[in-house]
Amino acid sequence: MSDAQRRIDDGAPGEQPSTGGADGSDSDSDSGNDEFEPVQVFPEAEEMDLRPGADNCYKCSTCDTNCPVAEVDDEFPGPKFQGPEQWRLKRQDDHDIDDSVMKCSNCMRCDSACPSSVPLSQMHNTARAEYVEENMSKFSREYLRNRLLANYRRLAPLASMFPRTANVVMGLSVTKWLGEKTLGITSEREFPEFATETFREWWTDRGGAKVENEDKRIAYFHGCYSNYNTSEVAKALVRVYEHFGYEVMVPEQSCSGTPMFANGMLEDARRAAETNVRELAAAIEDGAAVIASCSSCSMSIRQEYPELFDFEDTETVAANTWDAVEYLRVHEDLTGALEDTAVGDEFDELAYHAPCHSRNQGLDGQTIEVMDAIDGIDAQDVGDSCSGISGTYGWKAENYETSMKIGEEMFEHMDAAEAETGLTECPTCSMQMEHGTGYEIKHTLEVLEAALGGDRAESGAGSGSNADAGTTTATESN
């Protein structure tokens, strides 16, 4: 609003600077002997140019102190090198991207660390994509493995057709041994189980939305994991939102792109993002807000899409995408609704880990605040360390040890906490938490569902009473 917020020298390259200040309105009153006539020194960028970001770096190295990989791995040169320094090196002598960029776990902690708003993770994403494109053999085991991990969604539907068989096969030690020997996927981890019924199958069987409300609508971006693996999280979201009278839409969608960014598969990510932006923009047009239950999915749509792609409506979709709990806090009286509610023994004591991608959205304190409103829950934050798995990163044999070293602090804090149930919003953090401690891990939405009395008895298609309850709430709250 005020002039105070306009930053004159923050313009992106290619932005045509106007004469006399950013808005030109108050410059005419100037004495005139001090006319500001900026000259465009650098040629206008034809493609994405990260120069302004690199120039903002004053090398304070705060990002380096936040990097969980640099803290445990002497070989990793840290985010400042991967971003601004590599950028300058390349411009000077046309160096190849350094292969250490593949050691970055894409936790994106450096972004909120930077006091100068250098878009570090954006620089890392583009550097990684260039490295994979220019320097990695498309026939190498590493490339094939990374492509496979990045495109987990392509394989998941096959496994989901025969979930029980897939779960048995994936759990066999011979499969794990093969995975490690042929693909470099660590044999230390248990593959995630596939749900016997995907969320989308459940949604179709159920007959879709139970509440219709053209004033309160959300488009649910469930992502891959809560569709194929933890469908109970997706179902919890539907029940919680229907409790508040929302009409839930489940648009067509592809992978959010997070694992693709992390593996430098930018073209795969672009294709996925194009579908998502198109479908989600259409839902927004229909009056819906986009809601995600996975912190990496919301991070990707809100930050990485506008940083990396320029499809029509990318910005609109980013600005209208919300974390599932945050949206309820801002648009409903969530604390009020949770007052005097209680949950079963299973949720009495919780050890909460804030995923890096929640932290980067300023949401790391939210879960504990919301849990505090529910009677009988003692949720304890287990500290600000990274879990160490960072999506597909900790699945790679060569990263396994680093991943577990990073996670050590979180494991220790979880062990020290009273709880034996873990709580988080990120699917891969939850894998790491379970792997390191043996605790059962829940999603915040599952706790909310239990507190708000979401009808857990609902099974299969159409239980009429639930629909009525939802509609009543909708009417009351309008």
Binding site for another protein (CB under 8 A): 1-9, 21-22, 26-27, 30, 34, 36, 60-62, 64-67, 70-72, 74-75, 77-78, 81, 111-115, 117, 302-303, 306, 315, 318-322, 326, 329-334, 359-362, 364-365, 369, 381, 409
Is the distance from CB of 42 to CB of 51 less than 8 angstroms? yes
173 Cβ contact partners less than 8 Å away, ≥ 6 residues apart: 187
Alpha-carbon gap, residue 23 to 2, rounded angstroms: 12
Between 232 and 326, CB nearer to another protein: 326
Closer residue to another protein (CB): 207 or 365:
365
Rounded CA gap, 20 and 300, in Å? 37
Least gap, CB of 418 to another protein (angstroms): 16
Smallest distance from another protein to CB 406, Å: 10
User: Could you tell me the smallest distance in angstroms from the CB atom of residue 156 to another protein?
Assistant: 28
CA 105 centroid distance within chain: 13
| Least distance in angstroms from the C-beta of 464 to another protein | 31
What residues contact residue 217 under an 8 Å CB cut-off, 6+ apart?
246, 247, 248, 249, 286, 287, 288, 289
Q: Nearer Cβ to another protein, position 16 or 29?
A: 29
Report the residue number, 227 or 361, with the smaller CB distance to another protein: 361
The size of the chain, in residues, is: 478
> For residues 267 and 374, what is the distance between their CA atoms, to the nearest angstrom?
44
Minimum Å gap between C-beta 422 and another protein is 19
List CB contacts of 84: < 8 A, sequence separation 6 or more: 53, 54, 57, 59, 118, 120, 123
Smaller CB separation from another protein, 210 or 302: 302
- Least distance in Å: CB of 104 to another protein? 14
Is residue 291 a contact partner of residue 216, using CB atoms and an 8 Å limit? no
Read off the DSSP letter of residue 365.
T
Measured from the CB atom, the residue of 62 and 175 that comes closer to another protein is 62
Reading the block at residue 14, the tokens are 């290619």
Least distance (Å) between residue 75 CB and another protein: 7
- The residue among 1 and 174 lying less far from another protein, judged by its C-beta, is 1
Which uninterrupted H or E stretch holds 314?
helix 314-319
Per-residue DSSP letter, 177: H
Q: Distance between CA atoms of 367 and 369, rounded to whole angstroms?
A: 5
In eight-state DSSP terms, residue 75 is: T
CB of 1 to another protein, least distance (A): 5
By C-beta, is 185 or 240 nearer to another protein? 240
Smallest separation (angstroms) from another protein to the CB of 108: 10
- Give the orientation angle of helix 444-451 with respect to helix 324-331, to 10 degrees: 40
Dist CA 289 CA 294 (whole Å): 16
DSSP SS3 for 260:
helix
The span from the CA of 2 to the CA of 82, in Å, is 36
Residue (123 or 354) nearer to another protein, CB: 354
Q: State the nearest-atom distance from the C-beta of 431 to another protein, in Å.
A: 24
On the CB side of 223, CA atoms within 13 Å amount to 28
Taking the least distance from each CB to another protein, the nearer of 109 and 145 is: 109
